[in-house]
Amino acid sequence: MRWMHTRLIRKDSRSIALLAVFSSMAIALEIVPWPGVLDIPVPGVPGFNINWSGIPVVIVFFGLGFAYSLISVGAMWAAIAYRNFTGAAFKGCAEFFTVLGLVVAKLATAKWKPGKKASLAIYTVSACLFRAVGMYFTNIQLLPIFYGMPIEVAAAASTLYVPWNIVQAIINVVLGGLLYFAIPERLAIEAGLGDQADRHTIQELPTDAVDEEAHGEQ
């Protein structure tokens, strides 16, 4: 549980700046109109599009922790909701379940410390499981609300979305993980990314220390 205690919320300015950068990427991947490239419709599955906006969220999770990844999901939700509240409801839930799967995988492997390949495989399986199961039951609840479907029809439609939610989770976690693990270790530490980053290099100076230093220079 040490990871949950030390990595839950980071308050240094460098981490906040990195969060802003990656969240902006997620938002841009959602709102930039590029059909067929940034937004790929799935034939025969109405309302479901494959996209890349979840990849920066995964990078935020690996680099900055659970709390910041939820902030990225919230920023993405807001970017979609102002123009498509219905789509934002489904997308926000899907990305939340993906992050929840990553958290469970992180906690499960906290003492095991597997290699990068094994870790990525575990993260992917857990994210797929949580996203697929979570969205199956969520869709059954949301489809009748937003589209007026009977529960029986919603259940059948929700089953149709399961394999595509798995595909989307694989894309998010595998590509996000590969991009994150490709960052050189030294650069990651200097940027304050990951569990191994030296937290002392990213801490803000206390206000009294700054004041004392300023007085000493006068």
Question: In this structure, is residue 207 part of a structural domain?
Answer: no
Residues 140-146 have a mean pLDDT of 95
Residues 62-73 have a mean pLDDT of 93
150-178: pLDDT as tens digits: 999 999 999 999 999 999 999 999 999 99
More confident residue, 212 or 44: 44
Question: In this structure, is residue 165 part of a structural domain?
Answer: yes
The CATH number for 80's domain is: 1.10.1760.20
Residues 81-90 have a mean pLDDT of 92
Question: In this structure, is residue 151 part of a structural domain?
Answer: yes
User: Which H helix or E strand runs over 49?
Assistant: strand 49-51
Question: In this structure, is residue 64 part of a structural domain?
Answer: yes
Burial 58-97 (b: 16+ CB within 10 A, else e): bbbbbbbbbebbbbbbebbbebbeeeeeebbbbbbbbbbb
How many CB atoms neighbour CB 164 within 10 A? 17
- The model's confidence at residue 204, banded by pLDDT at 50, 70 and 90, is very low
More confident residue, 207 or 70: 70
Amino acid at 185: E
Summary mean pLDDT of the chain: 85
Cα distance between residue 156 and residue 153, in whole Å: 5
- The model's confidence at residue 93, banded by pLDDT at 50, 70 and 90, is very high
Residues 51-58 have a mean pLDDT of 95
Lowest mean pLDDT: which of 12-16, 133-137, 159-163?
12-16
pLDDT at 1 over 70: no
pLDDT at 98 over 60: yes
Lowest mean pLDDT: which of 63-67, 115-119, 124-128, 210-214?
210-214
pLDDT at 73 over 60: yes
Q: What local confidence, expressed as pLDDT, does residue 46 receive? A: 84
What is the DSSP secondary-structure string of 66-127? HHHHHHHHHHHHHHHHTT-HHHHHHHHHHHHHHHHHHHHHHHHTTTT---HHHHHHHHHHHH
Residue 101 · residue 130 · CB < 8 Å: yes
Question: In this structure, is residue 210 part of a structural domain?
Answer: no
Query: Judging by DSSP bridges, how do beta strands 39-41 and 49-51 pair with one another?
Result: antiparallel
Number of domains in the chain: 1
Question: What range defines the domain where residue 175 resides?
Answer: 12-39+52-182
pTM check: above 0.85:
no
Cα distance between residue 193 and residue 50, in whole Å: 28
165 to 75, 115, 169: CA distances (angstroms):
21, 26, 6
Lowest mean pLDDT: which of 1-15, 123-137, 145-159?
1-15
Percent of the chain with pLDDT strictly greater than 90: 59
Cα distance between residue 77 and residue 73, in whole Å: 6
